């Protein structure tokens, strides 16, 4: 490792969801909803994520929230959502909803990716706080516009990168800080998943008139890596602790050839502290056991965590990190998925493992920022950087070009 890299290493800074915010809060949220009063939510986009995660969590698990309005242009989705939120008003135009519902404090944006920026900026300009789904935007210039609107209006902008609110990555970072694997040198990550939800909203292409799953279209999704893989790439960035210096990728459509968005990719990421990463990704791998894993190799040992392996098979609901020192005995670090309070109240379980608790925590963190002005962890800059990595990789695999991080303006 070069001297510069060691210098960077000394500057290595890792923050956590529970601790210090990684990036500054863009302005203080004033006026805030009064403490003790319900925070009034509006939800834009009542598809799978808006309805089955955000609305379900808000109505079942957040007594401090009142859902006053829901907007969706698909009547069946809107009707299903309204049935889950007694008293909420339905809209098919988010402008009308934002204009009419003066009492709304915060808007959750869960529409397809290409609409995130326009809905978010409109909501922020109307004085609402915003929790916008990942990816923050399909263009980096839009991410800048969103952050500027949050700062100018002194409103909270949080991005739906809920992995930041999980316990296992935080533990891995803590173990690195404690030096259990020495200096982090190499990150190996993967996401092998099945095909996109066939029930996704269909975009009617104005040019062709064809109704197409929005996740198949580059214009709507931005890129396949932006749509998923972005959680893992964000975590890798968080773990590395510094900006990437360059990104290159290969990939394309080997199996699912009926679409514009790719079905596989392999990324090489160099970070500015000398840490290197290899990340592999497929969208045609339903039901494989090792669907999401992270292996961190350092100067004194390595540690691994993978979902779909030990924790799911044993059905304990806990995560397990395996630490293997290069000299010494293997150690298994059990990380509870839930706090004792969450164990009493959280009932979303699949295959013996609690699901979606990270999304619940992202709402709790968002509410703490809205009501108490707590720093935002998954803030605009975190969201933009995650989009930057994903988009640079997508451009690289399409052009063969290696993207230096500084080439942001070309993405
Ligand atoms: N954080 C996560 O783990 C996670 C998981 C799944 C999806 N997401 C994100 O959530 C967002 C939505 O995904 P989804 O799975 O719910 O998609 P979906 O296709 O199931 O739902 C999208 C909804 O948006 C509605 N919509 C489209 N245009 C609209 C408009 N102009 N105004 C109002 N509503 C409109 C559609 O009618 C549809 O009901 C995407 O950005 C996706 O990336 C995040």
| pLDDT confidence tier of residue 341, bands split at 50, 70 and 90 | confident
The two beta strands, 106-109 and 39-44, are parallel
Provide the 3-class DSSP secondary structure of residue 404. Answer: strand
Query: For residues 279 and 264, what is the distance between their CA atoms, to the nearest angstrom?
Result: 11
Which residue's CA is minimally distant from atom 33 of ligand 1? 72
pLDDT for res 16 = 44
CA-nearest of 84, 110, 166 to 353 is: 166
Which residue's CA is minimally distant from atom 7 of ligand 1? 49
| pLDDT confidence tier of residue 31, bands split at 50, 70 and 90 | low
Provide the 3-class DSSP secondary structure of residue 194. Answer: coil
pLDDT average, residue stretch 195-218: 93
**Residue 328 backbone phi and psi in degrees, to 5:** 125, -175
pLDDT higher than 90, residue 46: yes
- Other Cβ atoms closer than 10 A to 176: 20
- Domain residue extents for the chain: 27-155, 166-354+379-410
CA of 8 to the centre of ligand 1 (A): 39
CA-nearest of 267, 115, 108 to 190 is: 267
Dump the DSSP string for 29-51: --SPPPTTSPEEEEEE--SHHII
Same fold, 27-155 and 166-354+379-410: no
CA of 337 to the centre of ligand 1 (A): 26
Ligand 1 interacting residues, C-beta cut-off 6 A: 44-50, 71-74, 77, 94, 110-113, 115, 133-134, 160, 162, 197, 200-201, 227
Which residue's CA is minimally distant from atom 22 of ligand 1? 47
Burial code of 192-219, b = ≥16 C-beta within 10 A, e = fewer? bbebbeeebbebeeeeeeeebbbbbbbe
Tokens of 81: 């959502």
Which residue's CA is minimally distant from atom 36 of ligand 1? 201
CA 379 vs CA 134, 304, 325: distances in Å: 11, 27, 35
Length of the chain: 411
State the burial class of residue 137 (Cβ atoms within 10 Å of its Cβ: 0-12, 13-18, 19+). Answer: buried
CATH 3.30.360.10 fits domain 166-354+379-410: yes
CA-nearest of 62, 80, 131 to 70 is: 80
The CATH superfamily of 27-155 is: NAD(P)-binding Rossmann-like Domain (3.40.50.720)
The two beta strands, 276-282 and 184-192, are parallel
201 CA: nearest ligand 1 atom: 19
| pLDDT confidence tier of residue 10, bands split at 50, 70 and 90 | very low
**Contacts of 329 by beta carbon, 8 Å cutoff, 6+ apart:** none
pLDDT for res 286 = 80
The predicted model scores a pTM of 0.92
The residue with greater pLDDT, 160 or 309, is: 160
The residue with greater pLDDT, 184 or 411, is: 184
Are 274 and 290 in contact, with CB atoms under 8 Å apart?
no
Calculate what percentage of the chain has a pLDDT beyond 70.
88
For 42-51, 275-284, 313-322, 367-376, which range has the lowest pLDDT when averaged over its residues? 313-322
Provide the 3-class DSSP secondary structure of residue 279. Answer: strand
């Amino acid at each position: 490792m070069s001297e510069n890299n060691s210098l960077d290493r000394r500057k290595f800074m890792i923050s956590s969801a529970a601790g210090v915010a990684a990036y500054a809060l863009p302005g203080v949220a004033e006026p805030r909803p009064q403490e003790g009063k319900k925070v009034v939510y509006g939800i834009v986009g009542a598809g799978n994520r808006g309805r089955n995660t955000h609305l379900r969590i808000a109505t079942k698990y957040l007594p401090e929230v009142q859902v006053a309005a829901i907007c969706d242009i698909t009547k069946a989705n809107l009707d299903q959502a309204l049935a889950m939120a007694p008293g909420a008003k339905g809209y098919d135009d988010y402008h009308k909803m934002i204009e009419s519902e003066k009492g709304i404090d915060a808007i959750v944006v869960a529409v397809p990716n290409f609409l995130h920026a326009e809905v978010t900026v409109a909501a922020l300009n109307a004085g609402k706080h915003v929790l916008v789904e990942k990816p923050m935007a399909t263009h980096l210039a839009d991410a800048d516009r969103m952050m500027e609107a949050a700062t100018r209006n002194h409103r909270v902008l949080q991005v739906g990168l809920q992995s930041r609110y999980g316990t296992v990555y935080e533990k891995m970072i803590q173990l690195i800080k404690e030096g259990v694997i020495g200096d982090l040198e190499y990150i190996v990550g993967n996401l092998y998943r099945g095909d996109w939800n066939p029930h996704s909203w269909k975009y009617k292409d104005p040019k062709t008139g064809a109704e197409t799953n929005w996740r198949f279209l580059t214009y709507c999704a931005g890129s396949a890596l932006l749509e998923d893989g972005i959680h893992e790439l964000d975590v890798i960035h968080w773990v590395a602790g510094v900006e990437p210096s360059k990104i290159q990728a290969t990939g394309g459509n080997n199996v699912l050839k009926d679409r514009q968005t790719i079905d596989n990719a392999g990324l090489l990421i160099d970070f500015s502290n000398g840490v290197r990463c290899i990340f592999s990704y497929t969208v045609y791998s339903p039901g494989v056991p090792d669907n999401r894993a992270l292996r961190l190799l350092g100067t004194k040992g390595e540690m691994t965590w993978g979902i779909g392996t030990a924790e799911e098979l044993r059905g304990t609901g806990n995560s397990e990190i395996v630490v293997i020192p290069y000299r010494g005995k293997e150690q298994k670090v059990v990380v509870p998925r839930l706090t004792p309070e969450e164990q009493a109240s959280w009932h979303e379980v699949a295959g013996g493992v609690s699901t979606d608790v990270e999304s619940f925590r992202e709402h709790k963190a968002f509410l703490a920022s809205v009501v108490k002005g707590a720093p935002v962890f998954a803030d605009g800059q975190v969201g933009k950087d995650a989009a930057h990595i994903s988009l640079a990789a997508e451009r690289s695999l399409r052009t063969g070009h290696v993207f230096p991080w500084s080439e942001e303006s070309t993405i």
